[in-house]
């Protein structure tokens, strides 16, 4: 390949053109930055200093000067929603949607943001409509997840299940709470007047399929077995009901306290009360919980009297000291006294159990709660879904005193 002298001219020319283009871009950038109002930079500074209120005031001033600043409107709407001023966020996003020159991508973003505003405001019907409007856009996954939360809050379990199926059709994402949705459907069927055992059976079968597909947890498997037992009881199949409840002791030992009373009732209905009580006592020796302790003590107190019940309680409390457990013992003793039990049947007939219990109860009642492991919401009854943060399976089947 021969060297051509004119190549020496091309190299400087190309270099010069590059230099001119760079100078032009730099000057244009400087010109654009000079055209930005000072309030814009003040707002950014306030954001960096974690002063959102002052940042909002600065950005509002910029938006008034230049209504075409789309990204700034999105930032304003997000800030309004984060600080709880949902009405102002709604107005910002609605004003964007009213612009005829808004690009399609920005229009879809504004529609999604507006739906989130409505959801934050509790306007679930309008939020649902907004999320459905972007189901066929690039925001489909976010919209489906939001719709699932809406249907959960409305207890519209069939539509929640349908939304989960759409989500699974788009992305291979396990949804562990799907089994609970089917359990909720079964519960509705069992509680209906008249009850719908066929509908409950179909829902429970779907719940078991969901567990197999998503991987079951002790909580979801326990709930299915408890509902299976309730279904058997509705049909008069006490033996089947008892079998499902006994399965809980094997598959999810920590949840035994939730089924203890029902299991004892089944054994008593079958004429095998002592067998049921012995089964629970053996289980308590392996996996002690306060709920199971209370069920055993009440059953012993009713069937065998105070001395066997208190003998069990004394050994249990020595092994696992519990102020709440002692409070429950006194509660049972007082209830027997109120029912007219013979005074000689009390273990300590001359003791003022009412005074003793009132002293203990004052300190133990704050421990007599289940707690959500995600948000800390405390409740006296056990929940499969936390009423505070709406998360599933965040309650352990143990009272606060046992987990602190």
What is the tens place of the pLDDT at every residue in 304-344? Answer: 887 888 888 888 888 887 777 777 777 676 666 555 555 44
pLDDT at 352: 53
Cβ atoms of residues 351 and 360 within 8 Å? no
Collapsing DSSP to helix, strand or coil, 370 comes out as strand
CA dist 227 and 213 (Å) reads 20
Mean of per-residue pLDDT scores for the chain = 81
Q: Which long-range contacts link 191-195 to residues 24+ away (Cβ below 8 Å)?
A: 195/234
pLDDT bin (cut points 50, 70, 90) of residue 101 is confident
Is 35 a residue whose pLDDT tops 90? no
What is the tens place of the pLDDT at every residue in 206-254? Answer: 999 999 888 778 999 999 999 999 999 999 999 999 999 999 999 999 9
**Comparing C-alpha atoms, which of 294, 242, 288, 290 is closest to residue 263?**
242
Lowest mean pLDDT segment, chosen from 50-64, 72-86, 120-134, 153-167: 50-64
pLDDT bin (cut points 50, 70, 90) of residue 23 is very low
pLDDT at 30: 37
Residues with Cβ within 8 Å of residue 291, at least 6 apart in sequence: 256, 257, 258, 260, 397, 399
pLDDT bin (cut points 50, 70, 90) of residue 68 is low
**What is the pTM (predicted TM-score) of this model?**
0.77
pLDDT at 29: 40
Collapsing DSSP to helix, strand or coil, 389 comes out as coil
pLDDT at 100: 81
Is 379 a residue whose pLDDT tops 80? yes
156 or 22: whose pLDDT is higher? Answer: 156
Domain boundaries, the chain: 67-173, 174-287, 306-362, 369-404
pLDDT at 350: 46
Q: In a 10 Å sphere around its CB, with 0-12 CB exposed, 13-18 middle and 19+ buried, how is residue 170 labelled?
A: exposed
pLDDT bin (cut points 50, 70, 90) of residue 31 is very low
Is 24 a residue whose pLDDT tops 60? no
19 or 140: whose pLDDT is higher? Answer: 140
pLDDT at 91: 83
Domain 67-173 class, CATH top level: mainly alpha
What is the tens place of the pLDDT at every residue in 41-51? Answer: 555 555 555 56
330 or 121: whose pLDDT is higher? Answer: 121
- How is 138-158 classified by DSSP, letter by letter? TTHHHHHHHHHHHHHHTT-HH
Which CATH topology does 174-287 take? 1.25.40
Cβ atoms of residues 78 and 96 within 8 Å? no
What is the tens place of the pLDDT at every residue in 289-302? Answer: 989 988 998 898 88
């Amino acid at each position: 390949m021969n060297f051509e002298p004119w190549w020496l001219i091309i190299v400087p020319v190309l270099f010069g053109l590059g230099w001119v283009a760079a100078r032009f871009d730099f000057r244009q950038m400087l010109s654009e930055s000079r055209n930005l109002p000072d309030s814009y930079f003040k707002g950014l500074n306030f954001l960096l200093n974690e002063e959102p209120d002052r940042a909002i005031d600065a950005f509002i001033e910029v938006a008034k000067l230049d209504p075409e600043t789309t990204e700034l409107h999105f930032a304003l709407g997000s800030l309004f929603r984060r600080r709880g001023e949902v009405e102002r966020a709604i107005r910002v996003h609605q004003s964007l949607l009213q612009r005829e020159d808004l690009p399609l991508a920005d229009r879809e973003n504004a529609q999604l943001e507006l739906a989130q505003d409505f959801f934050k405001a509790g306007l679930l019907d309008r939020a649902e409509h907004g999320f459905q409007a972007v189901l066929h856009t690039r925001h489909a996954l976010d919209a489906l997840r939001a719709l699932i939360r809406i249907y959960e809050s409305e207890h519209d379990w069939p539509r929640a299940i349908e939304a989960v199926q759409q989500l699974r059709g788009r992305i291979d994402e396990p949804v562990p709470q799907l089994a609970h949705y089917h359990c909720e459907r079964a519960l509705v069927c069992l509680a209906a007047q008249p009850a719908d055992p066929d509908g409950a059976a179909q829902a429970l079968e779907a719940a078991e399929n969901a567990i197999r597909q998503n991987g079951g947890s002790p909580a979801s498997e326990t709930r299915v077995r408890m509902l299976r037992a309730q279904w058997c009881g509705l049909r008069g199949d006490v033996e089947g009901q008892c079998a499902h409840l006994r399965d809980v002791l094997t598959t999810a030992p920590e949840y035994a306290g939730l089924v203890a009373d029902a299991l004892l009732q089944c054994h008593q209905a079958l004429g095998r009360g002592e067998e049921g009580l012995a089964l629970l006592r053996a289980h308590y020796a392996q996996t002690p919980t306060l709920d199971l302790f209370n069920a055993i003590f009440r059953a012993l107190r009713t069937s065998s009297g105070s001395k066997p019940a208190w003998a069990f309680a004394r050994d249990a409390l020595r092994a696992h000291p519990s102020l709440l457990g002692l409070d429950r013992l006194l509660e049972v003793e007082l209830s027997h006294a109120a029912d007219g039990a013979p005074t000689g049947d009390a273990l300590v007939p001359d003791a003022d159990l009412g005074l003793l219990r009132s002293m203990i109860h004052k300190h133990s009642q704050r421990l007599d709660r289940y707690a959500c492991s995600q948000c800390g919401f405390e409740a006296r009854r056990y929940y499969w879904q936390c009423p505070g943060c709406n998360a599933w399976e965040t309650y352990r089947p143990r009272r606060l005193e046992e987990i602190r």
